[in-house]
Amino acid sequence: MGHNLTSITEFLLLGFPVGPRIQMLLFGLFSPFYVFTLLGNGTILGLISLDSRLHTPMYFFLSHLAVVDIAYACNTVPQMLVNLLHPAKPISFAGCMTQTFLFSTFAVTECLLLVVMSYDRYVAICHPLRYLAIMTWRVCITLAATSWAPGVVLSLIHLVLLLPLPFCRPQKINHFFCEILAVLKLACADTHINENMVLAGAISGLVGPLSTIVVSYMCILCAILQIQSREGQRKAFSTCFSHLCVVGLFYGTAIIMYVGPRYGNPKEQKKYLLLFHSLFNPMLNPLIYSLRNSEVKNTLKRLLEVERALWRGLWHCD
């Protein structure tokens, strides 16, 4: 066992069990999705930083969500794309542990950020006259820090429990990234504590935050129904619709991963669900917010008009 333990310096990610042609097809399909994820979330960050009209609590939290989405994708997708081109290319032990730590951190952080964003919408709709007094910048920074800190702490706990484990089986991880449960299957020691901690973290990270979001939106719905005008109701609901879509995508895929599926090959199906969770969700989030949010669209139009005017000015100067 000692020999096996000291000789382990890397893991091999098995990825998706498909032929070379399908792997190239997947590479051609996932590469532009990854680029769109970076461009979309990068655009959201750029618009929020450049336009002072978007320097509000709602967009402050949205910028944090965009950072998490970029980090989410950058943590898992590049290695997956490399494995599609070079299936036998391993990942180092340190790289694998880092990937596991970061994925857990970003997952918990996004859970809590969605809760914070629902609270922001609750205050804006249920207490509009006191919104600026409640959602001060000090409160916003505290809420953002509170969203990041538990993810880091919980991931450190997982890492501390994972590092001492001896790995004496073939170092082949049946996944496209170092997902913690897939890594634990390679350990030749009792992993019940690790698995229970993962389960406890998943339950607390899903049930608690989702319950808080549901309660927030029940209060929001009651407040919207008390608005007399249809136009007022429509405007109030439109400010929440984007957030509800993102919550549905994130928690929907997360719950399915931990509750089911029950039939077929659950490991393979959950692998594809995690792919959706780590690639498509971060790509769709900026689209949802930009398409449903008039302020973001107007800011983008203004910046494009300014850029067009600058190009015209440069053209006439030449």
Q: Per-residue confidence at 305, pLDDT binned at 50, 70, 90? A: low
What backbone phi and psi angles, to 5 degrees, belong to 172? Answer: -110, 115
41 is written with which tokens?
């979330």
Pick the closest to residue 65 from 227, 245, 221 (CA basis). Answer: 245
315 to 46, 112, 124, 301, 312: CA distances (angstroms):
26, 48, 46, 21, 5
In this structure, is residue 313 part of a structural domain?
no
* 1 contact partners, CB below 8 Å, separation of at least 6: 166, 168, 188
Distance of alpha carbon 85 from the chain centroid: 25
Q: State residue 264's pLDDT score.
A: 47
Q: Is pLDDT at 238 greater than 80 in this prediction?
A: no
Pick the closest to residue 296 from 34, 35, 53 (CA basis). Answer: 53
> Distance (Å, rounded) from C-alpha 69 to C-alpha 78?
14
> Distance (Å, rounded) from C-alpha 227 to C-alpha 126?
11
Residue type, 312: R
Domain count for the chain: 1
Distance in angstroms between the alpha carbons of the first and the last residue of the chain:
73
Query: DSSP secondary-structure letter at 208?
Result: H
What digits encode the pLDDT tens for the residues 70-111?
998 999 999 889 888 887 778 889 999 999 999 999 999 999
Q: Which helix (H) or strand (E) holds 166?
A: none
Place of tokens 């669900």: 273
What digits encode the pLDDT tens for the residues 171-217?
888 888 898 988 998 888 889 999 899 888 888 888 889 899 999 99
In this structure, is residue 206 part of a structural domain?
yes
Q: Is pLDDT at 2 greater than 50 in this prediction?
A: no
Q: Which helix (H) or strand (E) holds 194?
A: helix 192-225
Pick the closest to residue 148 from 217, 198, 102 (CA basis). Answer: 102
Q: State residue 166's pLDDT score.
A: 87
Q: Per-residue confidence at 114, pLDDT binned at 50, 70, 90? A: very high
Q: Is pLDDT at 308 greater than 80 in this prediction?
A: no
* 48 contact partners, CB below 8 Å, separation of at least 6: 54, 55, 59, 60, 62, 63, 66
Cβ-count burial 209-231 (b if 16+ within 10 Å, e if not): bbebbeebbeebeebbeeeeeee
Q: State residue 169's pLDDT score.
A: 66
Q: Write out the residue range of the structural domain in which residue 125 sits.
A: 8-299
User: Percent of the chain at pLDDT above 90?
Assistant: 33
37 is written with which tokens?
């994820």
> Distance (Å, rounded) from C-alpha 51 to C-alpha 54?
6
24 is written with which tokens?
């190239």
Place of tokens 């973290």: 201
Which of residues 192 and 294 earns the better pLDDT score? 192
- CATH number, domain at 209? 1.20.1070.10
Q: Is pLDDT at 318 greater than 60 in this prediction?
A: no
In this structure, is residue 195 part of a structural domain?
yes
In this structure, is residue 310 part of a structural domain?
no
> In this structure, are residues 227 and 236 in contact, taking their beta carbons and an 8 Å threshold?
yes
Mean pLDDT for all residues in the chain = 83
Q: Calculate mean pLDDT across residues 111-134.
A: 92
> Distance (Å, rounded) from C-alpha 286 to C-alpha 279?
13
What backbone phi and psi angles, to 5 degrees, belong to 117? Answer: -65, -35
At residue 10, the 3 state secondary structure works out as strand
Query: DSSP secondary-structure letter at 187?
Result: B
User: Percent of the chain at pLDDT above 70?
Assistant: 86
In this structure, is residue 317 part of a structural domain?
no
In this structure, is residue 311 part of a structural domain?
no
> Distance (Å, rounded) from C-alpha 168 to C-alpha 8?
8
In this structure, is residue 305 part of a structural domain?
no
pTM: 0.86
In this structure, is residue 227 part of a structural domain?
yes
